Amino acid sequence: MVGFRANLHRLLAPLALFAAAVARAPAQQPGATTVPGLGTLTFPTSTLVSAAQEAFIHGVLLLHLFHYDESADAFRQAERLDSTFALAYWGEALTYTHPVWNEQDSAAARVALAKLGPTPAARAAKAATARERAYLDAVEVLYGEGPKARRDTLYSLAMAKLVTMFPGDDEARLFYALSLLGLNQGVRDIPTYLRAAAIAESVLARNPAHPGAAHYWIHGMDDPEHAAQALPAARALGAIAPDAAHAQHMTSHIYVALGLWDDVVRANERAKHGRPWSCGHVNLFLDYAYVEQGRIAEARGLLSGCRDQAPKMAAMMHPGPRDIDPDDYSFITMWSRFLLDTEDWTGDVARWSIEPGDLPAPRLSYWFTRGFGAARQGNVAAARAALADFERARQQIATDIAKDGAEATPEEREFLTRAEVLRLELVGLIVAGAGERGAGLDTLRRAAVVEDQMAYAFGPPFVNEPSRELLGEELLRAGKAAEARRAYEAALKRTPGRASVLLGLGRAARALGDRAGARRAYGELAAIWHGADADLPGLAEARAAR
């Protein structure tokens, strides 16, 4: 795996040129409409009001870019301009389903549809063509009766039928691809995701300026094993939709999966441009990439800004009854990532007085981080106390998931699995710190086996401290360099280009007398840290060993 980064960069130049050309190319389909800054698509409708059609196209482009609130506004404008425009109500209703994020507001969607007519039959009667009626029928299924997972499946089948009925309709193909991404309720299913990516890629070949095609191709290959194949989509999307913050950020999903930290930073700085918030999804990626680059002072500055804004950010959020992992605690996530990745357990960030709040998910990350830091400093008593608080948060999550009687969703089961990995990591460190190193290592090996069973989750590591990486660190401490190197190699497959893994891999190779292997690992690390803070721990070591 070491050397992958160098080989990848040799591929990037032609890919970037290809993607830029693709983004500049005109749409190939007649009747295409371009909205500058958002992209181009073809979606003929029956409305005779040209302004309503323009608003509708604007709404569809924003829908493909996941700018849901702005998209709903555009569709409502189309409704006002032409109250008989059936597809405008279809579009507004569809803004209330966010398949990739496993979010759905059925009640709001039904209210939107009710503006067209009181019943599905009444609404269908207002569709002017068979094609428009098929779109309406599909969204009626999505917001019909039954549990979400069943409705999502039936909707996907309806979109597959629509594609069969109208094989030249690329919008139908893309909304079908998006429905595939939502089938597994928030947990990545690689074969299904690859199907969606293939559909999106085929549409981008016909319309190289379609933001949805590039966007869904990225989502379908948003994992380290496949991300290199989606580099053309990432390069294209950034050029197709410069006015869409989510599009700019979304390219960084591919870059994170490949460990291309300079690109991650550029993408998220563009997405953040002019926006005052220091918390949130974009800033989580940006802060993580700053740390990976060794730009610790900048990462700390962004984290400090989020700390100041977090209370206001939390007040704006309204997690649902089954929302176990709301974005309003991105500060806790950023704080945890910063400490775990910098390992600065004696600095001021580690000494910050933080109130993790009442929600169990942020308390889970908070107490794991406190316990991890205590264990690293040899304070076994404090680590055990933090583990007890961690366990209370973990049990509350399990109780909250079960209390309404509904079966746990795939996303909730994955979250509980993550909690078990974190628990095993804390226990392993505590046991080792109490003098039972062999038992501690066995517990960390169990944690790694459990995490290996989890689906890949995009972005910064979902498990706060990746278990194979932690196992490698502890094996090195125990003088087991050969096993440590195997652990680090496995970790690098899941988190390519991660600085702490490369540093550990270099140290393991050096301990084994493998000077060539150490030079490769340290060389990649020094390249990542080309703009690092001068006093970054490990920087001199990496440069000296190249």
Residue 72 is part of a domain; what is its CATH number? 1.25.40
- 501 alpha carbon, distance to own chain's centre: 21
Confidence at residue 10, expressed as pLDDT on a 0 to 100 scale: 41
Confidence at residue 315, expressed as pLDDT on a 0 to 100 scale: 65
CB 40 within 8 A of CB 64: no
The residue among 414, 442, 465 that closes a domain is 465
Confidence at residue 23, expressed as pLDDT on a 0 to 100 scale: 39
Confidence at residue 359, expressed as pLDDT on a 0 to 100 scale: 84
H helical segments located in 241-295: 245-258, 261-272, 281-293
Confidence at residue 253, expressed as pLDDT on a 0 to 100 scale: 98
Residue 188 and residue 51 in one domain: yes
Which residue matches tokens 């094993």? 225
The residue among 430, 465, 500 that closes a domain is 465
Confidence at residue 131, expressed as pLDDT on a 0 to 100 scale: 98
**Calpha distance 74→59 (Å, rounded):** 5
Which residue matches tokens 């032609």? 14
Q: Is 204 part of any domain?
A: yes
pTM: 0.92
Confidence at residue 105, expressed as pLDDT on a 0 to 100 scale: 96
**Calpha distance 97→93 (Å, rounded):** 8
**Calpha distance 112→483 (Å, rounded):** 58
**Calpha distance 432→352 (Å, rounded):** 27
Q: Is 312 part of any domain?
A: no
- 338 alpha carbon, distance to own chain's centre: 18
CB 257 within 8 A of CB 292: no
The residue among 444, 465, 486 that closes a domain is 465
- Domain range holding 381? 317-465
Q: Is 287 part of any domain?
A: no
Q: Is 394 part of any domain?
A: yes
End-to-end CA distance of the chain: 17
92 contact partners, CB below 8 Å, separation of at least 6: 59, 72, 75, 76, 79, 112
Residue 323 and residue 248 in one domain: no
Q: Is 386 part of any domain?
A: yes
Number of domains in the chain: 2
For residue 256, give the amino acid letter.
V
Confidence at residue 328, expressed as pLDDT on a 0 to 100 scale: 46
Which residue matches tokens 């950034």? 238
What residue ranges of the chain have pLDDT lower than 70? 1-30, 314-329, 546
**Calpha distance 484→266 (Å, rounded):** 33
Residue 254 and residue 363 in one domain: no
CB 481 within 8 A of CB 512: yes
Confidence at residue 250, expressed as pLDDT on a 0 to 100 scale: 98
Q: Is 338 part of any domain?
A: yes
CB 183 within 8 A of CB 192: yes
